[in-house]
Amino acid sequence: MKITVLFPTKTEASLFQRDDVYVIISGVGLTATAIATYKAIQQNTPDILILAGIAGAFQNSALTIGEVVLVESEVEGDLGFFTPDGFVHLAHLPLEMDFERRHTLGCPHLPSGTPFKRARSVSLNAAMAPFVDTTHVDIENMEGAAFFHVCLQEQQKFLELRAISNMVKIGDDNWDMQRSVLALTDNLHRFIDLLLQQE
């Protein structure tokens, strides 16, 4: 099985070393990730593409720092416009406008029998954006929605693994990078081993 792993940053990839996978540093954000994902698909032709990184957890998620989750869905959270009544996300427009399907993206490749909790994610250009509806999501990141979108468009098998580095709270920058990157690394190895066993 040909596996390629995308990490948004060198920090997130810093502890991961493995000879049987190809590693790419995609860059932070939706645009950089879209480009890196497309190039990885075209140039590497992987059997499976994995996005691995850290994420913030919302208070309603019951997740804790250091936990690692498998992402089941992504929303491009700050894609919308402001009205006198506040921010309107494109996915929240009337269903007949067909935006819901386009802006809430699911992963159809989630494996069974893994020890990882599943999480719903929102991808934001601005971390902890105060106007975004987080009622139905567990975590936030800055890359996942672009990754999901390109993989779905290109019919590429994909998965996303995230380690919780912080609780999402404006004004609170108490991130545990060391713990989350270590947890991400350990669990990414476990995850790849499971995928190879299921091959």
Query: For the domain that residue 191 is a member of, what is the CATH number?
Result: 3.40.50.1580
Among 52, 199, 56, which Cα is nearest to 121's?
Answer: 56
pLDDT of residue 99: 43
pLDDT of residue 116: 93
DSSP H helices, 27-115, are 30-44, 99-103
Q: Could you count the other beta carbons within 10 Å of the beta carbon of residue 166? A: 20
How many distinct structural domains can be found in the chain?
1
**Residues spanned by the domain of 18:** 3-198
Percentage of residues in the chain having pLDDT higher than 90:
65
Percentage of residues in the chain having pLDDT higher than 70:
90
Q: Which amino acid is at 103?
A: H
Q: Could you count the other beta carbons within 10 Å of the beta carbon of residue 1? A: 12
Which stretch, 96-105, 152-161, 190-199, has highest mean pLDDT?
152-161
Dist. CA 120–CA 141, nearest whole Å: 11
On the question of pLDDT at 100 being above 90, the answer is no
Q: Can you read off the two tokens belonging to residue 176? A: 């545990």
Q: Read off the pTM.
A: 0.90
